[in-house]
């Protein structure tokens, strides 16, 4: 079983909301719906997707701002992130004020995720990896057979996530990347929360923040 992926850049932060659709069933998960709900809905309709859940990598506003509205519209369960990000969800109004954005509705995930668990999209299963650093409750979703990862704001093409937010931790972030993500294999392609895709191999060799200094 394979996943069809589509990315919808949303909000002023151009956050990559990703739609994962099971090719066999057309059931879909919406990953990190940060806002611009009409654009996400238009992409779902164009794909012929049947939304079945929302998956969250972490709880920063640009990744979760549209969660409550989208969950209500389609009656969707919300899975993720790790409970370490609950304080960010509780502070959604303050996040909106900080960035000068309209207030967003609070939500409570139906399922908090921890490392070692799995989530499903239609007939496809993804592994959950807890990757603290950018936020304490950040998780990454990996489909090993398809060699695909959704990494949120842990790592980018040529960069890594910020750690200057409350409860961010640079050392934890580096460990998450080097000890949890890179060992999954150089050939894993990842969709980051912002910017273009890359592979773990490319970043391991060239990313100035986490490159393998042994060459």
CATH number at residue 87: 3.60.15.10
Residue range(s) defining the domain that contains residue 187: 3-206
Q: Is residue 197 part of a domain?
A: yes
Q: Are 207 and 182 in contact (CB under 8 A)?
A: no
Q: Is residue 170 part of a domain?
A: yes
Question: Which residues, other chains included, contact 86 with Cβ-Cβ below 8 Å and sequence gap of 6+?
Answer: 59, 112, 137
CA distance 138 to 58: 5
Q: Is residue 102 part of a domain?
A: yes
Q: Is residue 213 part of a domain?
A: no
Q: Is residue 84 part of a domain?
A: yes
Q: What is the pLDDT along the chain (215 residues), one digit of tens a residue?
A: 799 999 999 988 899 999 999 999 999 999 999 999 999 999 999 999 999 999 999 999 999 999 999 999 999 999 999 999 999 999 998 888 887 777 888 999 999 999 999 999 999 999 999 999 999 999 999 999 999 999 999 999 999 999 999 999 999 999 999 999 999 999 999 999 999 999 999 999 999 999 987 44
Q: Is residue 212 part of a domain?
A: no
What's this model's pTM, rounded to 2 decimal places? Answer: 0.96
Q: How far apart are the first and last CA of the chain?
A: 36
Q: Is residue 38 part of a domain?
A: yes
pLDDT on residue 200: 98
Task: Count up the domains in the chain and report the number.
Answer: 1
């Amino acid at each position: 079983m394979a996943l069809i992926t589509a990315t919808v850049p949303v909000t002023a932060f151009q956050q990559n909301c990703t739609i994962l659709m099971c090719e066999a069933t057309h059931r879909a998960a919406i990953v990190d719906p940060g806002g611009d709900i009409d654009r996400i809905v238009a992409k779902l309709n164009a794909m012929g997707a049947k939304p079945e859940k929302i998956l969250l990598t972490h709880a920063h506003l640009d990744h979760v701002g549209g969660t409550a509205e989208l969950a209500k519209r389609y009656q969707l369960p919300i899975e993720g992130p790790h409970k370490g990000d609950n304080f960010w969800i509780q502070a959604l109004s303050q996040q909106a004020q900080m960035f000068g954005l309209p207030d967003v509705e609070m939500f409570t995930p139906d399922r908090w995720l921890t490392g070692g668990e799995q989530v499903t999209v239609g007939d496809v299963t993804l592994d959950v990896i807890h990757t603290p650093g950018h936020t304490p409750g950040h998780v990454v979703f990996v489909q090993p057979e398809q060699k695909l990862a959704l990494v949120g704001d842990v790592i980018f093409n040529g960069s890594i996530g910020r750690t200057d937010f409350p409860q961010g931790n640079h050392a934890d972030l580096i460990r998450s990347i080097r000890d949890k993500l890179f060992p999954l294999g150089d050939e894993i392609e990842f969709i980051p929360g912002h910017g273009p895709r890359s592979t773990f191999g490319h970043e391991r060799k060239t990313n100035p923040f986490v490159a393998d200094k042994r060459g």
